[in-house]
């Protein structure tokens, strides 16, 4: 007669059997100025690993003054705005954000300069690396994401413009972001100088590892298109397996895109980067007079059109809350797509850059 069965000991779970925590989606937003600031304000409310890649062609205001006084420095203005958009919600983070955005008053040499611009230039000179400087500043602001320049050197925008002369067919060249953004003519195309400037390696890495890449909103010729004019950055944007979202502006901008329809913005983007594939185009419902025409234009590019109410009522600016609601489904679904975020490229990571930033302490 046999005795009662003895329970067999259960082997401890192997590492492969252990539950795997879901990975946060990696989101890269590219642009500059107020458009990128609004997008980052929207994204910071989502559970995602955020990276901002920022244009470095600003030559106006404080950034222009600093470029002239400190040759070779990356213009800090748009970088500062991105950092402030991602600043921590606690008291220290918000204090630093307000301080970075505060402009010196008075009548001296500092008048009109935002504090953050001066701090960033100082960090760049001390650390000798704009990426390390931005990571150090992000730590000060307790930022909920990373801010990177699209290139590690200042660039200039050169545009071909018609409509300046009496003959509307005559092409003229206009140099500089401010001049291009305010031209009375019609911009036909833009390029960057110096040609062949290398992209920021960390930005290329971030795009290669992304689940969702967002281009826009922002000044089309001076904040959005420049990312597709840096050869290495354009290649990364074309090769990434991330979902690619283009966010259209709420209205044409005087001078730069005067008279442009929403679909013309897409045409210009396609002309400057014919190999760039778009997955989704997001536009404000109230800003699209002919949705059928815009939908046809997005289909020609192989993309889907997403119409949503993303404007702050009564203003020409995007609402971060409305943008967040519109992009949330894309953020939540992008990380679960097969093959997303599994391409990497050479370049310093955040930890390595922070180590360099820590050496000055």
Range of the domain at 44: 26-356
How much is the mean pLDDT over the chain?
88
Q: Kindly calculate the radius of gyration of the chain based on its CA atoms and give it in whole angstroms.
A: 23
The total number of structural domains in the chain stands at: 1
Residue 85 lies in a domain: yes
182 located within any domain? yes
Q: How many Å apart are CA 120 and CA 136, to the nearest integer?
A: 9
Asked whether residue 224 is domain-assigned, the answer is yes
- Tokens matching residue 242: 């991330």
Query: β-strands 145-149, 49-54: how paired?
Result: parallel
Per-residue pLDDT reduced to its tens digit, 127-147: 999 999 999 999 999 999 999
Query: Residue 175, by phi and psi: left (phi above 0), alpha (psi -120 to 50) or beta?
Result: beta
> Is 7 contained in some domain?
no
Q: What region, left, alpha or beta, does residue 72 occupy, with left being phi > 0 and alpha being psi -120 to 50 degrees?
A: left
Check pLDDT > 90 for residue 251: no
* Model confidence pLDDT, tens digit, residues 285-298: 999 999 999 999 99
- Residue 15 placed within a domain: no
In a domain, 47, yes or no: yes
Which pLDDT tens digit goes with each residue over 79-133? 999 999 999 999 999 999 999 999 999 888 999 999 999 999 999 999 999 999 9
Is residue 254 over pLDDT 90? Answer: no
**Residue 234's domain is classified under what CATH number?**
3.40.50.10680
> Is a pLDDT exceeding 90 seen at residue 259?
no
Q: Is residue 324 in a domain? A: yes
pTM of the model: 0.88
Q: Which residues contact 50 (CB under 8 A, 6 or more apart)?
A: 27, 29, 40, 43, 44, 86, 144, 145, 146
Angle of helix 77-85 relative to helix 91-101, nearest 10 degrees?
A: 160
User: Is 333 a residue whose pLDDT tops 80?
Assistant: yes
The number of beta carbons lying within 10 Å of the beta carbon of residue 14 is 7
pLDDT digits (tens, 9 = 90+) for 31-76: 999 999 999 999 999 999 999 999 999 999 999 999 999 999 999 9
| H/E run at residue 212 | strand 212-215
Counts of helices then strands in the chain (DSSP H, E):
13, 10
The pLDDT > 90 percentage for the chain reads 75
SS3 content of the chain, % helix, strand, coil (to 5): 40, 15, 45
Q: What is the mean pLDDT of residues 258-280?
A: 92
Query: What's residue 342's pLDDT?
Result: 53
pLDDT reported for residue 15: 55
State how far the alpha carbon of 76 is from the alpha carbons of 4, 83, 203, 210, in Å. Answer: 77, 10, 17, 25
Domain contains 105: yes
């Amino acid at each position: 007669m046999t005795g009662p069965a003895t329970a067999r000991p259960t082997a401890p779970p192997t590492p492969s059997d252990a539950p795997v925590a879901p990975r946060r989606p990696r989101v890269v937003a590219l642009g500059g100025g107020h458009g990128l600031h609004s997008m980052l304000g929207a994204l910071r409310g989502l559970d995602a690993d955020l990276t901002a890649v920022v244009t470095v062609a600003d030559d106006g205001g404080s950034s222009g003054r600093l470029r002239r006084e400190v040759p070779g420095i990356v213009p800090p203005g748009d970088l500062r705005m991105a950092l402030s958009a991602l600043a921590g919600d606690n008291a220290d983070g918000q204090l630093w954000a307000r301080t970075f955005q505060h402009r010196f008053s008075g009548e001296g040499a500092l008048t009109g300069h935002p504090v953050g611009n001066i701090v960033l230039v100082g960090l760049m000179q001390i650390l000798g690396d704009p990426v390390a400087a931005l990571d150090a500043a992000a730590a000060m602001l307790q930022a909920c994401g990373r801010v990177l320049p699209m290139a590690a050197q200042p660039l200039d925008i050169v545009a071909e413009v018609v409509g300046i002369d009496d003959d509307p067919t005559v092409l003229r060249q206009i140099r500089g972001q401010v001049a291009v953004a305010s031209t009375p003519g019609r911009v036909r195309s833009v390029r960057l100088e110096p040609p062949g400037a290398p992209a920021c390696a960390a930005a290329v890495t971030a795009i290669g590892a992304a689940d969702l890449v967002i281009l826009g909103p922002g000044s089309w010729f001076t904040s959005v298109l420049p990312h597709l004019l840096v050869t290495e950055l354009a290649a990364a944007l074309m090769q990434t397996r991330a979902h690619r979202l283009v966010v259209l502006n709420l209205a044409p901008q005087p001078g730069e895109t005067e008279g442009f329809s929403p679909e013309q913005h897409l045409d210009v983007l396609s002309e400057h980067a014919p190999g760039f594939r778009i997955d989704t185009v997001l536009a404000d419902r109230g800003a699209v007079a002919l949705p059928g025409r815009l939908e046809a234009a997005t289909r020609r590019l192989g993309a889907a059109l997403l119409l949503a109410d993303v404007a702050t009522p009564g203003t020409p600016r995007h609402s971060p809350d409305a943008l967040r609601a519109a992009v949330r489904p894309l953020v939540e679904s992008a990380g679960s797509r097969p093959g997303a975020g599994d391409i990497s490229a050479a370049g310093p990571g955040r930890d390595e850059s922070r180590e360099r930033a820590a050496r000055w302490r």
